[in-house]
């Protein structure tokens, strides 16, 4: 892009999807990044649990990246730092709780001590180049969430981050309505905002209303109570701990991420007036009717605490007939199957499962339509840019903004570079590379690349691997050695596919002309193998033929 005095917005993640937020603002050739998050695998890509945005564009322009500002500590807003920071090497700015939480996560890396993390106070103002960023406190389902008023000579953008309007948040202050009204009175060019609940009427509800219902349920439960919630929702954790105490029960934290959040909260002055939590190893020694266990795994994650408990594979904790499991969380779109599977497993154990469909034990952390309308009344921007939502959410958000008399609304796609301050409204000036990367052990792979696609193909179609030994003229010296994972059951004596594959490879090699090159022999055998498996199994397997010439 040519350097000019325009103000630009570029999402590389989080538009058209919920999660994986990576937002960029450009002014006078410099880029400001807001959030750098992950999303989680939904089972459609085998072996992929964590997914990051593709940062290639900004990594190639990192000399012009002046900093990363984190709005809050949810994984979909900071979880990719531990994977992508070495490509960016920029300073990071965050409030105390978010900074502490990030430092704990970075202890798992070999570069954590190299990351320059600057702590900034809530309500403070930060100057980075031509960007002046004011942090405005707002309520959400985590400690210290912030909207950002990003001021430049070309205009002010309000970047909402994740938010809601909660008049009883349990932990932390109320939304700073006066600050939002002040920013609106100063004049706002664009609002870039959360669209998650833009299709839902009314309001999202208060954490305070959840507290009373959880208290009632824990008081009534006859035996153990396991509660699954998002570990980052400190207000919910505190609610459950207080409800346990009121019912005369001990409360245990079961799962590493809960202890990490607790440690970060305590370090920053939160949760200090609660009774001490038990460890999971201690929880097993408490009478069944005197324990509440806060567990990770509300989304059915296979390695999280609640899934291991449901499979009777947890080393310290069990659930039995007569115990209760409360799911004090919403099911993230895409996680319906693993959550349903987990709940069915618990029910098979005789555990009573209670969800937000059975009792009001969860409220969303994102604004519904009445809350969005209130924000637009405060801010009165010239432009609305919906983000953080699927296409249907962002389209509904844009329609609502227009109904709130916002002159221009543009629904972005990841990779769109949008000029915000054009005289005729916002418009896309360029599109850059955007996509998804899978975290695969200690490496990052493109989700649309050969490795991830190959796994999916292997999952659905199986594979055939054959080794053929030939002489210098290309004639077989012995029977081919063949394996066919996912296609042949070695314990089924009636399955003749293995023998037929040997004969098929033998025939394909014998039909090759003398002194045919190895590549020609391998290709002939590969085609014959795929044709046979297609006829016999209706599958198109991955076929690998290794030719050894002696």
Residue 263 token pair: 């440690």
Of 461, 226, 242, 457, nearest in space to 323 by CA: 226
Q: pLDDT digit string (tens) for 95-151?
A: 999 999 999 999 989 999 999 999 999 999 999 999 999 999 999 999 999 999 999
Query: E strands along 432-506, which residues?
Result: 436-440, 443-446, 463-470, 481-483
What's the confidence (pLDDT) of residue 459? 78
What's the confidence (pLDDT) of residue 48? 76
- Is pLDDT of 517 > 70? yes
Calculate the alpha carbon distances from 239 to 26, 208, 250 in Å: 41, 9, 14
The H or E element containing residue 385 is: strand 383-387
Q: Which of 291-295, 378-382, 410-414, 546-550 has the lowest mean pLDDT?
A: 546-550
Q: What is the rounded average pLDDT for all residues in the chain?
A: 94
Answer for the pair 361, 135: CB distance below 8 angstroms, yes or no. Answer: no
Q: pLDDT digit string (tens) for 68-78?
A: 999 999 999 99
Answer for the pair 372, 406: CB distance below 8 angstroms, yes or no. Answer: no
pLDDT band at 44 (very low <50, low <70, confident <90, very high): low
> What SS3 state is found at 353?
strand
What's the confidence (pLDDT) of residue 10? 98
Give Cα 523 to chain centroid, integer Å.
41
Q: pLDDT digit string (tens) for 432-459?
A: 999 999 888 888 888 888 787 777 777 7
Q: pLDDT digit string (tens) for 312-329?
A: 999 999 999 999 999 999
What's the confidence (pLDDT) of residue 461? 87
Of 245, 239, 283, 237, nearest in space to 264 by CA: 237
**Please, where in the chain does CATH 3.60.15.10 lie?**
7-202+364-446
Backbone angles phi, psi at 498, to 5 degrees: -60, -50
Of 408, 1, 23, 367, nearest in space to 201 by CA: 367
What's the confidence (pLDDT) of residue 442? 81
What's the confidence (pLDDT) of residue 440? 84
* Neighbouring C-beta atoms of residue 499, cutoff 10 Å: 10
Q: pLDDT digit string (tens) for 204-220?
A: 999 999 999 999 999 99
Residue 402 token pair: 């227009």
For domain 7-202+364-446, is the CATH number 3.60.15.10? yes
Residue 362: is it exposed, middle or buried by C-beta count within 10 angstroms (0-12/13-18/19+)? buried
Question: Considering the entire predicted model, what is its pTM?
Answer: 0.88
Residue 399 token pair: 């329609």
**Please, where in the chain does CATH 3.40.50.10710 lie?**
207-354
**Please, where in the chain does CATH 3.10.20.580 lie?**
462-549
- Is pLDDT of 303 > 70? yes
What's the confidence (pLDDT) of residue 489? 82
- Is pLDDT of 505 > 90? yes
- Is pLDDT of 42 > 70? no
Answer for the pair 21, 388: CB distance below 8 angstroms, yes or no. Answer: yes
Q: pLDDT digit string (tens) for 151-177?
A: 999 999 999 999 999 999 999 999 999
Write the class of the CATH domain 462-549.
Answer: alpha beta
469-475 average pLDDT score = 93
Backbone angles phi, psi at 424, to 5 degrees: -105, 15
**Residues 459, 298, 341, CA angle at the centre, nearest 5°?**
45
**Residues 327, 328, 334, CA angle at the centre, nearest 5°?**
70
- Which option is the CATH number for 207-354: 3.20.20.70, 3.30.390.50, 3.40.50.300, 3.40.50.10710? 3.40.50.10710
- Is pLDDT of 46 > 80? no
Residue whose structure tokens are 């909402």: 160
């Amino acid at each position: 892009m040519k350097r000019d005095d325009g103000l630009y917005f570029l999402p590389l993640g989080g538009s058209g999807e919920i999660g994986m937020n990576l937002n960029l603002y450009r002014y006078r050739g410099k880029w400001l990044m807001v959030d750098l998050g992950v999303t989680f695998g939904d089972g459609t890509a085998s072996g992929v649990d964590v997914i990051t945005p593709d940062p290639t564009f900004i990594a190639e322009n990192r000399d012009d990246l002046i900093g990363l500002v984190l709005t809050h500590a949810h994984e979909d807003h900071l979880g990719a730092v531990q994977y992508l920071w070495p490509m960016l090497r920029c300073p990071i700015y965050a409030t105390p709780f978010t900074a502490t939480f990030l430092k704990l996560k970075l202890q798992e890396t070999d570069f954590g001590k190299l990351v320059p993390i600057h702590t900034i106070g809530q309500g403070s103002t930060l100057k980075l180049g031509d960007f002046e960023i004011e942090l405005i406190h707002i309520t959400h389902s985590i400690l210290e969430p912030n909207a950002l008023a990003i001021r430049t000579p070309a205009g002010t953008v309000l970047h909402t981050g994740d938010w809601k309007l909660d008049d009883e948040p349990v932990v932390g202050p109320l939304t700073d309505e006066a600050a939002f009204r002040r920013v609106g009175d100063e004049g706002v060019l664009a609002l870039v905002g959360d669209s998650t609940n833009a299709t839902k009427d009314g309001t999202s509800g208060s954490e305070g209303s959840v507290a009373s219902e959880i208290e009632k349920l824990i008081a009534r439960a006859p035996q153990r109570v396991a509660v699954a919630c998002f570990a980052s929702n400190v207000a919910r954790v505190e609610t459950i701990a207080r409800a346990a105490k009121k019912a005369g029960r001990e409360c245990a934290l079961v799962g590493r991420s809960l202890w990490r959040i607790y440690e970060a909260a305590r370090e920053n002055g939160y949760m200090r007036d609660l009774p001490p939590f038990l460890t999971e190893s201690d929880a097993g020694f408490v009478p069944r009717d005197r324990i509440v266990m806060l567990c990770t795994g509300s989304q059915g994650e296979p390695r999280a605490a609640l899934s291991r408990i449901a499979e009777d594979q947890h080393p310290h904790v069990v659930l039995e007939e007569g115990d209760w499991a409360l799911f004090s969380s919403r099911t993230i779109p895409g996680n319906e199957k693993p959550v349903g599977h987990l709940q069915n497993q618990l029910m098979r154990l005789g555990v009573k499962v209670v969800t937000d469909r059975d009792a009001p034990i969860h409220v969303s952390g994102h604004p519904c339509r009445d809350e969005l309308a209130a924000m637009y009344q405060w801010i009165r921007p010239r432009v609305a840019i919906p983000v953080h939502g699927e296409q249907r959410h962002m389209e509904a958000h844009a329609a609502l903004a227009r109904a709130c008399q916002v002159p221009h609304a543009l629904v972005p796609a990841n990779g769109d570079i949008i000029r915000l301050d054009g005289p005729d409204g916002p418009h896309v000036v360029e599109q850059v590379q955007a996509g998804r990367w899978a975290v695969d052990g200690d490496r990052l792979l493109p989700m649309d690349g050969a490795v991830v696609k190959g796994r999916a193909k292997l999952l659905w179609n199986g594979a055939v691997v054959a080794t053929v030994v030939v002489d210098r003229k290309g004639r077989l010296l012995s029977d081919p050695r063949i394996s066919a994972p996912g296609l042949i059951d070695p314990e089924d004596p009636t399955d003749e596919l293995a023998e037929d594959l040997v004969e098929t490879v033998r025939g394909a090699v014998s039909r090759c002309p003398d002194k045919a090159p190895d590549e020609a022999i391998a290709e002939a055998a590969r085609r014959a193998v795929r044709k046979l498996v297609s006829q016999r199994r209706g599958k198109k397997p991955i076929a690998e033929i290794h030719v050894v010439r002696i």
